[in-house]
Structure 1
Amino acid sequence: MCGIVGCILKENKDVAPILFSCISKLEYRGYDSIGIATYDNTINVKKGKGDIETVNENLNFEDMKGDLGIAHTRWASTGRPTDANAHPHMDNSQSVAVVHNGTLENYTDLKEELIEEGFTFKSTTDSEVIPNLIKKFMEKGKSLEDALRKTTEKLKGSYAIVAISKDEPDKLVATRKDSPLIVAYGEKGYFVASDTPAVLEYARDVIRPDECEVAVLTKDGIEIHDKNGENVKWESKYIDWTPEMAQKEGHPHFMIKEIIEQSEAVKNTLGQKANIQKIIDEIGDVKRICFVACGTSYHASITGKYLIESMAGIACDVVIASESKYTARTWDEDTLVIFISQSGETYDSRMALKEARKTSKTLAIVNVAGSAMTDEAEFVIQTQAGPEIGVAATKTYIAQLTAIYLFAGLLSKNGELIEELNKVPAYIDEAVKERETIKELSKMYTFAENIFYLGRGFSYPIALEGALKLKEITYIHAEAYPAGELKHGPLALIDEKVPVIVVVPPGEDYDKTMTHIEEVKARGAIVLCVGAKGDEKIAENSKEIIGINPEVTDIIAPLVYTVPLQLVSYYVTIEKGYNPDKPRNLAKVITV
């Protein structure tokens, strides 16, 4: 989940300001430290624990000299967040510098071997073995590129690595396995990075090297080499996201900007209708569908299950990606496995996708063009949410749902549902206009230590997503349950100190959900309902109500009713004084 940037300029100018600008664009991936290394007759490294602005105030990255360098933001996985554990890491002789994203499973053994050979270590990270291994092989006569290749032969686990050496000061070398890495070029020079937003200001022609290929960047251009060192013919893809698309545009946080942008994300994703129909035609008959996802995407998958089973009559499973190995044994040629990932780089989902390709048809629903899963899946639906910077998914979730609704509607030939989807952007805009009201009522929930979310049918995944958003950014413990499960245990936890948020749209589950409201009210709970505007019955039975257009039925409620729950979480977070864009301990892209 670390952020990586490397750059070599075409002209002899200082690269540090560009590296700092690029690495700052990767804050959304989550980080606890930052560092930069540049080459100017020797390798200079500055790094430290903390946020980018604070560390830069202390170290002044932008005054570093040199026209070649690497930069890194770290999200601790092996080794605590400390100055010493921050990247870049160097070898004992201070001649090789490396930035690394991923997790090395055998680093302890490698470290012990190197210590026996006389190497010493300054950090407790797994990454520090890499520059020392590279130096070890260079001392045996290997070039920087070949030394990197020999090093990766010894590594077990996932990695994206960029390395520089004062012994070959005219190049950067980079490689990857099970971690994202792009190569890009523009007027000023040549770049490597973990993700495209890092380099959009300088380069939008992007190359995605295959696993274990080595990218070599010099002032003269880019070469991609295979495992034998032979040239690989590469193609670039132009990314049409502009740098401005990743800015706040006057909003206090990316999260509120992205919540407001959700109607546009739906409109744009609805434009994928023809592509989705083509995919359905090519897939042909399937007897079973299995969704594989993590986090927010898992909640979108549950909605997909309900839609497809109720409309198309095809059996569906929903599996958390990290647990998928147990289900994978049942996948066969009659199974369509659908992978949902905002980034297209989610590690657990990618590993499951590799397994699924051996037996089944595979479809990836992703938001990032050219990401790893777009290359690995047989079929791809790219959602059209644009770049999402806030760590907590909002518009990418709604875009995922839109793609799922289109897929389910076209698969089941449900023209009525397809028509209804065209109304969703207007419904979302109406919901967003209620944000000042939601801001005020959210203040009453800042005291809570526990909050319950309830919903039945299509409202259950809405409740799940609402609870997850609250946990992610407010740090309040929240749980979601199918409302009918209350009496099977959770009701014991309800009292006057526990707010209960109930999702109750018009539809076949309305009456039963109202009885569940009575159940929690009888135990003294504070009830907030999200329901149809003007519904007097709901108003009588809850302390507060967030009103939604009454034309929004339970079937399409996940696309609309999710929005006010996002706003509740956002405003509770603001009231508590936290930054909703950068929740603690979390990262945007999970690559380990």
Structure 2
Amino acid sequence: MCGIIGIVGVNDAAPRLVEGLRRLEYRGYDSAGVATLVNGHIDRRRAEGKLLNLDARLREQPLAGTVGIGHTRWATHGGPTENNAHPHATKRVAVVHNGIIENYQELKDELIEAGCVFESATDTEVIAHLVTLNMDRGMAPAEAAHAAFQRFTGAFALVLVFAGEHDLLIGARHGTPLAVGFGDGEMYLASDAFALAPLTNRICYLEDGDWAEVTRAGAVIHDAGGAVVDRPVKTTAVSGALIGKDGYRHYMLKEIYEQPQVIGDTVNSYINPETSRITMPDLPFDLARASRLTIVACGTAFYAGLVAKYWFETLARLPVEIDIASEFRYREAPMPENGVALFISQSGETLDTLEALRYCKRQGQRILSVVNAPESTIARESDAVLYTMAGPEIGVASTKAFTTQLTTLACLAAQVAHARGAIDDERLMSVARSLREVPARAAEVLAHDERLKDLAAEVSEARDVLYLGRGAMYPLAMEGALKLKEISYIHAEGYAAGELKHGPIALIDDAVPVIVLVPSDNLFEKVVSNVQEVCARSGKVLLIADRKGIDRLSDRVRWSVELPACDPIVAPILYAIPVQLLAYHTAVLKGTDVDQPRNLAKSVTVE
């Protein structure tokens, strides 16, 4: 994930910008840069690779100025080159940016028509040009920035500095975190308050849609409509472990809210933003010609693999077997000639998964892994690796790692489907467009947080909870039940909705909440009949569906949460978020240790 820091201060900004970026290195990055105001003009230093390269550049070409912005970038739009590194600038505006401007191509075409000349392959550059164009038309910096923010779609956090404005930073947040730091005669902005730990322990967290005018005297915060609002300033203990929560009560909640950004980072790693074509890395084998794909994983990663099984079989028509890693190798399963084995792990160190990988290797399978840790053992021992862009996940219960795994696997399944001739160019582009929309739709889902918090009060009183789904929603039902068990310690089970009459229906009464995940897809009518069966037995149904589904069933269910209508391919990614939030708020009400639930570890490195 990218990192942002901004300073409007009294001492040279560049060294402190670099120090702040150093504290954000844990996020991962492949280029870095800073910009300051020098005698009223914007001056920049950028470098490929690690911060030591930027340090060397600054030693060769020192950068004065007390107002500045800095950025560590993980390449998405455009490669990891110095030219694509942030900050991006015109003569009047410089910007650093996390997230995605989804409509950047439309804006870029408009700006080129207006005479703007682009120097990078990034989506970020449209921000600087659009704000500049607004200023050229007579708007003041704050007015120009706000007008530009209203044009952008997607999830983003950004900070702007303006030529000639030695006492001004402007920051904005939409679906991606941004914090304001209060110092002694100076002020700060950062994507992660951990970056500000050496500078201040007084932090204000912008809410979604907020934008802020920051001067040495303080910060004026506006909501999305431009009205001035108050946001609480909190005093935090100066420690990475605490400040790293960015003002969230728990790491888990922070990581749930990071999903629009990290899903976007993952999407842009595998979908060319210029062409909207899925471009997976070249593999040393042809997955499209594999005789069978064997998927192996544990826990939440196993449920990601189950969703992928639906995608590979329905979309790509590729036969798939899937196993829990701890069981797989003890069956001594016969492996097919020309087979590929796919291993999914957040840490890349899960021992059961690693031993299953080694078994498959001995059986002559080609090995592909999906991991979040580039230097992990599973990554090193694989023939090919697809990286998720979740960044560090501290909470034991996986959230953003799961949705980025799904995002990666959806991209892979679509590309394989096209290579096998199972889908045509038009359908491939449709899937790619749907995936590119997921970050913005994920931000919309997060807007239901308060509603889910209210519903958690009902769920927290239950002894047993059932989750139901069909098709790709069946693994999501199991994942929802797992999340609830992991952190709230309430017994929960996820079932294929069609299995209801084969046993679980005996559990239904007015004390058992039944959570139904049902997008309006080809299985919707089947699930309707299952919901009616539950309601007929006084079951308390929580319906998670789109507007069409809610309109159809609202008179039968106890509660409902509306999700955006979407392509069925991306529905599992979006439907993961409400079950995460429901589990989280239930656990908080139960008073459990959300981030470190009893008996569980983040990475299971023993059998």
TM-score range, shorter chain: 0.5 to 0.7
Whether the aligned pair in 2 keeps the contact of 1:531 and 1:538 (CA below 8 Å) is no
Whether the aligned pair in 1 keeps the contact of 2:267 and 2:407 (CA below 8 Å) is yes
Would the alpha carbon gap of residues 484 and 454 (structure 1) be closer, same or farther in structure 2, given more than 3 Å must change? same
Whether the aligned pair in 2 keeps the contact of 1:336 and 1:360 (CA below 8 Å) is yes
Residue 446 of structure 1 aligns with which residue?
Answer: 460
2:263 is aligned, of 262, 266, 282, to: 266
Deviation at residue 328 of structure 1 after TM alignment = 4.8
Deviation at residue 497 of structure 1 after TM alignment = 1.3
1:537 is aligned, of 537, 552, 570, to: 552
Residue 373 of structure 2 aligns with which residue?
Answer: 368
Residue 547 of structure 1 aligns with which residue?
Answer: 562
Provide the C-alpha distance between the structure 1 equivalents of 2:537 and 2:344, rounded to a whole number of angstroms.
39
Deviation at residue 244 of structure 1 after TM alignment = 8.9
Deviation at residue 255 of structure 1 after TM alignment = 0.5
Provide the C-alpha distance between the structure 2 equivalents of 1:244 and 1:400, rounded to a whole number of angstroms.
26
Moved more, 271-280 or 329-338: 271-280
After superposition, where does 1:109-508 map in structure 2 within 5 Å?
247-273=244-270, 277-280=280-283, 282-284=285-287, 285-326=289-330, 328-358=332-362, 359-413=364-418, 414-508=428-522
Whether the aligned pair in 2 keeps the contact of 1:453 and 1:466 (CA below 8 Å) is yes
Secondary structure (helix, strand or coil) at the match of 1:529 reads strand
Superposed CA offset, 1:41-94 (max 9, x none): xxxxxxxxxxxxxxxxxxxxxxxxxxxxxxxxxxxxxxxxxxxxxxxxxxxxxx
Provide the C-alpha distance between the structure 1 equivalents of 2:281 and 2:252, rounded to a whole number of angstroms.
34
Q: What letter corresponds to residue 254 of structure 1 in structure 2?
A: Y
Deviation at residue 449 of structure 1 after TM alignment = 0.5
Residue 42 of structure 2 aligns with which residue?
Answer: none
Superposed CA offset, 1:373-424 (max 9, x none): 1111111011100000000000000010001001001111233212210011
Q: What letter corresponds to residue 494 of structure 2 in structure 1?
A: A
Deviation at residue 330 of structure 1 after TM alignment = 1.7
Would the alpha carbon gap of residues 405 and 246 (structure 1) be closer, same or farther in structure 2, given more than 3 Å must change? farther
Secondary structure (helix, strand or coil) at the match of 1:512 reads helix
Superposed CA offset, 1:23-54 (max 9, x none): xx9xxxxxxxxxxxxxxxxxxxxxxxxxxxxx
Superposed CA offset, 1:424-453 (max 9, x none): 111110000110111112111111000000
Q: What letter corresponds to residue 539 of structure 1 in structure 2?
A: S
Whether the aligned pair in 2 keeps the contact of 1:245 and 1:387 (CA below 8 Å) is no
Whether the aligned pair in 1 keeps the contact of 2:369 and 2:382 (CA below 8 Å) is yes
Deviation at residue 325 of structure 1 after TM alignment = 1.4
Provide the C-alpha distance between the structure 2 equivalents of 1:490 and 1:334, rounded to a whole number of angstroms.
40
Residue 183 of structure 2 aligns with which residue?
Answer: none
Whether the aligned pair in 1 keeps the contact of 2:283 and 2:384 (CA below 8 Å) is no
Would the alpha carbon gap of residues 276 and 365 (structure 1) be closer, same or farther in structure 2, given more than 3 Å must change? farther
Provide the C-alpha distance between the structure 1 equivalents of 2:385 and 2:242, rounded to a whole number of angstroms.
23
Residue 57 of structure 1 aligns with which residue?
Answer: none
Q: What letter corresponds to residue 586 of structure 2 in structure 1?
A: V
Deviation at residue 553 of structure 1 after TM alignment = 3.8
Q: What letter corresponds to residue 437 of structure 1 in structure 2?
A: R
Q: What letter corresponds to residue 536 of structure 1 in structure 2?
A: D
Residue 210 of structure 1 aligns with which residue?
Answer: none
* Residue identity (%): 39
Deviation at residue 270 of structure 1 after TM alignment = 1.4
Deviation at residue 502 of structure 1 after TM alignment = 0.4
Q: TM-score, normalised by structure 2?
A: 0.56
Secondary structure (helix, strand or coil) at the match of 1:513 reads helix
Deviation at residue 355 of structure 1 after TM alignment = 1.1
Q: What letter corresponds to residue 277 of structure 1 in structure 2?
A: M
Q: What letter corresponds to residue 538 of structure 1 in structure 2?
A: L
Provide the C-alpha distance between the structure 1 equivalents of 2:333 and 2:504, rounded to a whole number of angstroms.
34
Deviation at residue 346 of structure 1 after TM alignment = 0.1
Provide the C-alpha distance between the structure 2 equivalents of 1:331 and 1:282, rounded to a whole number of angstroms.
17
Whether the aligned pair in 2 keeps the contact of 1:328 and 1:356 (CA below 8 Å) is no
Secondary structure (helix, strand or coil) at the match of 2:604 reads coil
Whether the aligned pair in 2 keeps the contact of 1:409 and 1:415 (CA below 8 Å) is no
Whether the aligned pair in 2 keeps the contact of 1:428 and 1:560 (CA below 8 Å) is yes
Superposed CA offset, 1:127-183 (max 9, x none): xxxxxxxxxxxxxxxxxxxxxxxxxxxxxxxxxxxxxxxxxxxxxxxxxxxxxxxxx
Provide the C-alpha distance between the structure 2 equivalents of 1:491 and 1:554, rounded to a whole number of angstroms.
27
Deviation at residue 555 of structure 1 after TM alignment = 2.7
Q: TM-score, normalised by structure 1?
A: 0.58
Q: What letter corresponds to residue 435 of structure 1 in structure 2?
A: D
Q: Which runs of 5+ in 2 are unaligned?
A: 1-25, 27-196, 198-239, 272-277, 419-427
Would the alpha carbon gap of residues 375 and 245 (structure 1) be closer, same or farther in structure 2, given more than 3 Å must change? farther
Q: What letter corresponds to residue 334 of structure 1 in structure 2?
A: N
Secondary structure (helix, strand or coil) at the match of 1:331 reads coil
Whether the aligned pair in 1 keeps the contact of 2:434 and 2:567 (CA below 8 Å) is no
2:537 is aligned, of 496, 507, 523, to: 523
Please tell me whether residue 512 in structure 1 is matched to residue 526 in structure 2: yes
Provide the C-alpha distance between the structure 1 equivalents of 2:303 and 2:256, rounded to a whole number of angstroms.
17
Residue 8 of structure 1 aligns with which residue?
Answer: none
Q: Which runs of 5+ in 1 are unaligned?
A: 1-24, 26-200, 202-242
Provide the C-alpha distance between the structure 2 equivalents of 1:408 and 1:497, rounded to a whole number of angstroms.
40
Provide the C-alpha distance between the structure 2 equivalents of 1:293 and 1:329, rounded to a whole number of angstroms.
15
Q: What letter corresponds to residue 583 of structure 1 in structure 2?
A: P
After superposition, where does 1:38-117 map in structure 2 within 5 Å?
none
Provide the C-alpha distance between the structure 1 equivalents of 2:450 and 2:515, rounded to a whole number of angstroms.
18
Whether the aligned pair in 2 keeps the contact of 1:246 and 1:388 (CA below 8 Å) is no
Residue 209 of structure 1 aligns with which residue?
Answer: none
Would the alpha carbon gap of residues 436 and 475 (structure 1) be closer, same or farther in structure 2, given more than 3 Å must change? same
Whether the aligned pair in 1 keeps the contact of 2:285 and 2:366 (CA below 8 Å) is no
Q: What letter corresponds to residue 383 of structure 2 in structure 1?
A: E
Superposed CA offset, 1:535-575 (max 9, x none): 322211210001101x2243321100110110000001111
Deviation at residue 331 of structure 1 after TM alignment = 1.5
Residue 186 of structure 1 aligns with which residue?
Answer: none
Q: How many residues align?
A: 354
Provide the C-alpha distance between the structure 1 equivalents of 2:415 and 2:284, rounded to a whole number of angstroms.
10
Whether the aligned pair in 1 keeps the contact of 2:284 and 2:383 (CA below 8 Å) is no
Residue 138 of structure 1 aligns with which residue?
Answer: none
Q: What letter corresponds to residue 460 of structure 2 in structure 1?
A: T
